Amino acid sequence: MRNNYRYSRYNRNVRIRRKRILILTIIIVALGGLAASIIDDKFFSKDKNVQALASNEAVVSKQDDEANKTKEDDTNAEAQSDSNVDDVASVEKFLTQQAKGQKIEDTDGKKVVYLSFDDGPSETNTPSILKTLKDENVKATFFVLGKAIDQSEANKNLLKQEVEEGHTIGNHSYSHNYKYLYPNGSVNTNNFMSEINKTNESLKKVLGEDFSTRAIRFPGGHMSWKNTEEVDKIMKEKDYHYVDWNALSKDAEGPHKNADQLTEEVKKTVGNKTKVVLLMHDTYGKEETAKALPGIIDYLKSQGYEFRTFK
């Protein structure tokens, strides 16, 4: 009887142990599955993050490439836009050498013409001149007056158009008043530099504070006035360079001339010069200059001249 009891108790203990083992096994399996799921999620999430990071890096790299390309294109465009622009200091130098009968050091043999227009901008003639220059794919240098810029919003917009279309800008004083600038035929340095500074301010107000020009043209020409030594010294210190001319249409000299007569004057004064700085005007009353310009450009092209600007 006792043996049967012991055997029954033993069997019950075995069943309990087996049940415990089964339950423990189930718990272990369940925990293992949960752990595996957590680990998979963790690594999957990490993999997604890695993929996202790689994708972001690819996007950034593409953006950097595009930015670098844009910068390179801008640099190339700027270089291309400046390919027909010369240093104003070199233009001043060859004009001075020519005026003094000295040997011109620049002997590359190229025929070059610099078209220049004084006293603008004006609402009547500057638009027509700009249209002709655009149609002919020719650039010019405009020596502007501060008072003309300040005269109207239309003139301010014309100044902007000149720059936007690739032309260069020079400073031609503010008032163009000979009596104020050159009393008794002599340069008044203070008055002259005051007007140069005043026009610079007018230019900056329209074209931005970063705008500057090194090209100066004396009203009437530097060649026409006495006692220029002091102003020349100041201009040299400021890296300004005056540019006179060695050919002109005579649209501001002598009796009134029509377009054909102006063109003939250009032909005479250009002559056989290799390098030409041609003086014309785009101010009010110079409608015949605007009419003559297409023919003048055609003539210069036929003579093999390359059109350039300076700044």
CA-CA-CA-CA dihedral for 232, 106, 274, 79, to nearest 10: -90
- What is the second-level CATH architecture of the domain 86-310? Alpha-Beta Barrel (3.20)
* pLDDT, mean of residues 112-122: 98
Instruction: Write down the domain spans for the chain.
Output: 1-81, 86-310
- pLDDT of residue 206 exceeding 80, the answer is yes
Euclidean distance between CA atoms 277 and 91, whole angstroms: 9
For 140-167, how does the pLDDT look when each residue is reduced to its tens digit (9 = 90+)?
A: 999 999 999 999 999 999 999 999 999 9
In the residue annotation, 241 being an active-site residue is answered as no
Q: What is the mean pLDDT of residues 233-259?
A: 98
Predicted TM-score (pTM) of the model is 0.75
Of the candidates 118, 119, 244, 282, the residue annotated as catalytic is 118
- How buried is 305 (Cβ within 10 angstroms: 0-12 exposed, 13-18 middle, 19+ buried)? buried
Burial (CB count <10 Å: 0-12, 13-18, 19+), residue 74: exposed
pLDDT class for 101, splitting at 50, 70, 90? Answer: confident
Q: Token digits for 235?
A: 């201009």
User: Using 50, 70 and 90 to split pLDDT, how confident is the model at 15?
Assistant: low
Question: What percent of the chain stands above pLDDT 70?
Answer: 74
Whether residue 87 lies in the annotated active site: no
Structure-token match 């006035």, residue found? 225
Model pLDDT, residue 69: 46
For the segment 86-98, what is each residue's pLDDT rounded down to a tens digit?
999 999 999 999 9
How deeply is 6 buried, as exposed, middle or buried, from its count of CB atoms within 10 A (0-12, 13-18, 19+)? exposed
Length of the chain: 311
Q: Which of 167, 176, 241, 281 is catalytic?
A: 281
Q: Is the pLDDT of residue 72 over 80?
A: no
